[in-house]
Structure 1
Amino acid sequence: MNATAAKQNAVTELMRISPVADELAARFARAGHRLYLVGGSVRDALLGRLSPDLDFTTDARPDAVQRILAGWAEAVWDTGIEFGTVGAAKKGATLEITTFRADSYDRVSRNPEVSFGDTIEGDLVRRDFTVNAMAIDLAEKKFVDPCGGLAALGRRSLDTPATPEESFADDPLRMLRAARFVAQLGLEPAPRVVRAMTDMAGELARITAERVQTELSKLVLGVAPRRGIELMVDTGLAEHVLPEVPGMRLAIDEHHQHKDVYQHSLTVLEQAIELETTHEPATEPDLVLRLAALLHDIGKPATRRFEPGGGVSFHHHEVVGAKMTRKRLRALRYSKDIVNDVSQLVYLHLRFHGYGKGEWTDSAVRRYVTDAGDLLPRLHKLVRADCTTRNKRKAAALRRAYDDLEERIQRIAAEEDLARVRPDLDGNEIMRILGIPPGPLVGKAWKHLKELRLDRGPLDHDEAVAELHRWAAEQGIERAE
């Protein structure tokens, strides 16, 4: 398809998918203003992946935009109005309308000195990448592409309208966005973009942890996050975002052969992504699982030991790795739930390797399930993804062993309701039987009975009462009268 046909197809597709855009453009035209669909919305339409979140730009100032939207939009918000952006909702679509910008940057922070522009061309040339610097004039159904974004998209090339050095000096977050677009869209960064990212990686320190975290999450949730992470590592960006990942590139000499931990982790990430949809329960892209897959072995460099005879060990790397994971994700301002879930998966990922050919007792299986809790489906996928080896016979044996473990979990769960392992006596019964008031002693008794439940499975009531009395006697607790 030639460029002219591609442009016309994009316009036609946009109008078919989003009549809201046509309605809105008519309102702007009646008010004497121009409205353009712009940036990622145009790029995604050309790629056949237009979403209901639409970005527009206009010559109208924010107060005029608010007047035009009044009485038409179902909701209007002005949280971005200081940057010239007014948000709205209409017929299931989320719209962001931004006045033409002609900003300048102090190149110390990433905050621009906001100023409004007068032309669509001036607005587009200040954008981050040429593939995001395309627009459609909605009144005339005309394609606007002053920076060659369509040709770049056709080549799958990621380049900047200005020089990369100028663009990244204005906003260093654009370097991380480049890695994200590689992961999300399968674009290839232009050589000059890679050089600038490498030379300017340290500028990322100007960006807040929250903004970095947002871009990293989008990258990890992309179609091909491995490519984005490799670009971050190769350019040095990862040293300022996830330094533990390039830290896994351990030197391997001829006397101490072992698996390349960095490449292994990237492979585990890819296999975990495949298991999101092929292993039940199927899920959408899972940030917690993907972060755990990427970070599960970050404790190995700190625990590496060369053993007599040329072997290499990484004792307790899962414990060290869980602590490192927690520290890094907190620094990136991830939520408490994400920090806890990812670090717990890292901590638990190695436990299965004690299973052997099924040597675990039912007690050990119960503890595996109980310690994983709600994370068990993710743990299943992480452990399976981590079973990487060039030895096909060994790989098949690991898969069979984990199949056996999952079957045992299902059998025991059906018999004992493993999802809610509780002691056979609750706190009220413990207080009544022992004649003790609420307090720490009740918690200790509860914990003891839970350990028995994990070791021996469900106890009948009389047996549980007898065990409670036995424990109380050992503790020197006499029943209060």
Structure 2
Amino acid sequence: MTPLALLAKAEQAISSLEDVLVDLVAEFAARDLPLYLVGGSVRDALLGRLGNDLDFTTPARPEVLTEILSSWAGTVWDTGIDFGTVSAQHRGQQIEITTFRSDTYDGQSRNPEVVFGDTLEGDLVRRDFRINAMAVELLLDDTGSLTARFHDPVGGLEDLVHRRLDTPDTPEISFRDDPLRMLRAARFVSHLGFGVAGRVQQAMVDMAEEINRITVERIQQELNKLMEGTEPWTGLDLLVSAGIAAHIFPEIPAMRDMQDEHRQHKDVYAHSMQVLRQAMDQEEDGPDLVLRWAALLHDCGKPQTRAFNEDGRVTFHHHEVVGAKLVRRRLRTLKYSKQMVADISQLVYLHMRFYGFGEGQWTDSAVRRYVTDAGPLLPRLHKLVRADSTTRNQRKAARLQRTYDHLEERIADIAAREDLARVRPDLDGNEIMQILNLPPGPQIGQAWTFLKELRLERGPLEREEAIGELKKWWAEKGE
């Protein structure tokens, strides 16, 4: 798309906000202060995807911003005021205005010494990438209507036209100031489908170790944003090829060059990226981070379980068990929530269960255990297992999908007769204590586990039958 076409898109996006912004611009104009739409908001306006979060910059100091926004918006908050940022909510738009900055960095941490600036150019040149270093000055014409003036001191529009990520300053200086920008590059690649300039990629390779200056919390946030992109595999490829992934998530690059057990055209890494694509194709309500991470990492246990059988064929026995452990350890290191850790690792652990049964070999007991072990993750497990078929053999692919169709039919059939969502013993703990005349203790838990296993194996039992089986088990245990 040409620069003129992009500018036309931006002008259209900004004009659509006139009713929201014209009074705000008037407040600044009354104080003889300029106001600039800036950064990602300008980039998105040029791409025709401006959202409800608008970023602005101005020479006005934070106390002036608070005064202006308090008179203009119904809701104002100043949690970022120490960094020169005041935010507001008005007519469905979230507004964030930041005083010009000309920060300095110590080269040790990524936290700058906040210094307020006096020029727009000085504010823009300190930003991470040229495509985020453009601004649109909002003005009022003689009739009081909103107009705009475009500012592009570092060539961001040209980069946008060429779908390229480059830094305003040299990438070495930019990444030394804030190494998180290397992860942001991968995130923008994932979301925008852009490539990185050659000098940016080389700097990422040369400075990969600098990522260790970043806290795991910030790394986690950026990785999640990357994974929520439209093409997360492109951002992951950038991190892997630059050597950054080896520092923050080594289990991902470890899958490269790992031939799968069938010695087919794809190595484990390429296969995992394809599974990620196919899992995303099944998403229904936007990005599903749990599903995406599980798809990417489902085979991460293969490098540690690689072996060769007597015929010289490579095997990865129990890689799902090893993989689940690796996932739990890595996600805990990155301080993911307990629920995320549990869900992703359980999907990795269960993804091979389906392959243990052939077509028509699923007993009622096996179906119950599959559903019970998956629990609320069952819909995601369905998607993951279906996505895990990347064979080029059309007959084999059709057979696998047909077999899984059959399994889902079996699940639906049994669920129609039993409450598969809550498979519990036919007797509860109080009943067990009363029947066996036992006080609370570990024996009650053992009895409950026995009845749970019996329920999974045989389905729901009549009360008298369950009592009889419990008494029989207890008598045998006593002997």
Shared fold (TM-score, shorter chain, > 0.5) = yes
TM-score class, shorter-chain normalisation, is over 0.9
Give the one of 148, 152, 173 matched to 1:166: 173
* Shift of residue 257, structure 1, vs aligned partner: 6.8
Q: For 1:4 and 1:23, how far apart are their aligned partners in 2? A: 28
User: Tell me, what secondary structure is at the counterpart of 1:366?
Assistant: helix
Indicate if the aligned counterparts of 1:256 and 1:310 stay in contact, CA closer than 8 A: no
User: Tell me, what secondary structure is at the counterpart of 2:71?
Assistant: coil
* Shift of residue 461, structure 1, vs aligned partner: 1.3
Aligned AA (1:235) = A
The count of corresponding residues between Structure 1 and Structure 2 is 471
CA gap of 1:315–1:252, structure 2 versus 1, over 3 A, is: closer
Q: 1:424-460 CA distances to partner (integer Å, 9 max, x unpaired)? A: 1122222232233333322222211111110001111
* Shift of residue 251, structure 1, vs aligned partner: 5.5
Tell which deviates more after alignment, 317-326 or 384-393: 384-393
Give the one of 279, 289, 305 matched to 1:272: 279
User: Tell me, what secondary structure is at the counterpart of 2:94?
Assistant: strand
Indicate if the aligned counterparts of 2:268 and 2:299 stay in contact, CA closer than 8 A: yes
Aligned to 2:160: 153
Aligned AA (2:64) = A
Q: For 1:95 and 1:308, how far apart are their aligned partners in 2? A: 66
Residues 442-457 of structure 1: pairs in structure 2 closer than 5 A: 442-457=444-459
Aligned AA (2:86) = V
Aligned to 1:27: 27
User: Tell me, what secondary structure is at the counterpart of 2:72?
Assistant: coil
* Shift of residue 238, structure 1, vs aligned partner: 0.8
User: Tell me, what secondary structure is at the counterpart of 1:71?
Assistant: helix
Indicate if the aligned counterparts of 2:305 and 2:319 stay in contact, CA closer than 8 A: yes
Q: 1:377-412 CA distances to partner (integer Å, 9 max, x unpaired)? A: 010111111112122211111111111011111111
Aligned to 1:181: 188
Indicate if the aligned counterparts of 1:258 and 1:312 stay in contact, CA closer than 8 A: no
Aligned AA (1:327) = R
Residues 1-400 of structure 1: pairs in structure 2 closer than 5 A: 2-4=2-4, 6-17=6-17, 19-139=19-139, 140-250=147-257, 259-276=266-283, 282-400=284-402
Q: For 2:258 and 2:276, how far apart are their aligned partners in 1? A: 21
Indicate if the aligned counterparts of 2:89 and 2:95 stay in contact, CA closer than 8 A: yes
Q: For 2:17 and 2:423, how far apart are their aligned partners in 1? A: 50
Indicate if the aligned counterparts of 2:9 and 2:48 stay in contact, CA closer than 8 A: no
Q: For 1:476 and 1:401, how far apart are their aligned partners in 2? A: 44
Indicate if the aligned counterparts of 2:136 and 2:148 stay in contact, CA closer than 8 A: yes
Q: Give ranges in structure 1 of 5+ residues lacking alignment.
A: 277-281
Give the one of 405, 408, 414 matched to 1:406: 408
Q: For 2:265 and 2:196, how far apart are their aligned partners in 1? A: 32
Indicate if the aligned counterparts of 2:258 and 2:268 stay in contact, CA closer than 8 A: no
User: Tell me, what secondary structure is at the counterpart of 2:207?
Assistant: helix
Indicate if the aligned counterparts of 1:318 and 1:346 stay in contact, CA closer than 8 A: yes
Q: TM-score w.r.t. structure 2 length? A: 0.95
Aligned to 2:142: none
Q: For 2:2 and 2:280, how far apart are their aligned partners in 1? A: 35
* Shift of residue 17, structure 1, vs aligned partner: 3.9
Q: 1:326-375 CA distances to partner (integer Å, 9 max, x unpaired)? A: 11111111111111110111111111101211212110110000000010
Q: For 1:461 and 1:450, how far apart are their aligned partners in 2? A: 14
* Moved >6 Å (runs of 4+): 255-258
* Shift of residue 19, structure 1, vs aligned partner: 3.4
Q: 1:254-277 CA distances to partner (integer Å, 9 max, x unpaired)? A: x9778511111111111111111x
CA gap of 1:256–1:273, structure 2 versus 1, over 3 A, is: closer
Aligned AA (1:59) = P
Q: 1:124-174 CA distances to partner (integer Å, 9 max, x unpaired)? A: 111111110111111251111111111211111111111111111111111
Q: For 2:258 and 2:445, how far apart are their aligned partners in 1? A: 49
CA gap of 1:349–1:236, structure 2 versus 1, over 3 A, is: same
Q: For 2:57 and 2:404, how far apart are their aligned partners in 1? A: 54
CA gap of 1:238–1:467, structure 2 versus 1, over 3 A, is: same
Indicate if the aligned counterparts of 1:77 and 1:86 stay in contact, CA closer than 8 A: yes
Q: For 2:329 and 2:448, how far apart are their aligned partners in 1? A: 32
Q: For 1:396 and 1:341, how far apart are their aligned partners in 2? A: 28
Tell which deviates more after alignment, 18-27 or 241-250: 18-27
User: Tell me, what secondary structure is at the counterpart of 2:282?
Assistant: helix
Aligned AA (2:13) = E
Indicate if the aligned counterparts of 1:256 and 1:306 stay in contact, CA closer than 8 A: no
Q: For 2:333 and 2:25, how far apart are their aligned partners in 1? A: 44
User: Tell me, what secondary structure is at the counterpart of 1:88?
Assistant: strand
Aligned AA (2:101) = R
Q: 1:213-250 CA distances to partner (integer Å, 9 max, x unpaired)? A: 11110111100011111111111111112111111113
CA gap of 1:163–1:29, structure 2 versus 1, over 3 A, is: same
Q: 1:459-479 CA distances to partner (integer Å, 9 max, x unpaired)? A: 1111111112212222339xx
Aligned AA (1:32) = D
Q: For 2:264 and 2:8, how far apart are their aligned partners in 1? A: 57
Percent identical pairs in the alignment equals 64
Indicate if the aligned counterparts of 1:15 and 1:22 stay in contact, CA closer than 8 A: no
Q: For 2:170 and 2:358, how far apart are their aligned partners in 1? A: 57
Q: Give ranges in structure 2 of 5+ residues lacking alignment.
A: 140-146
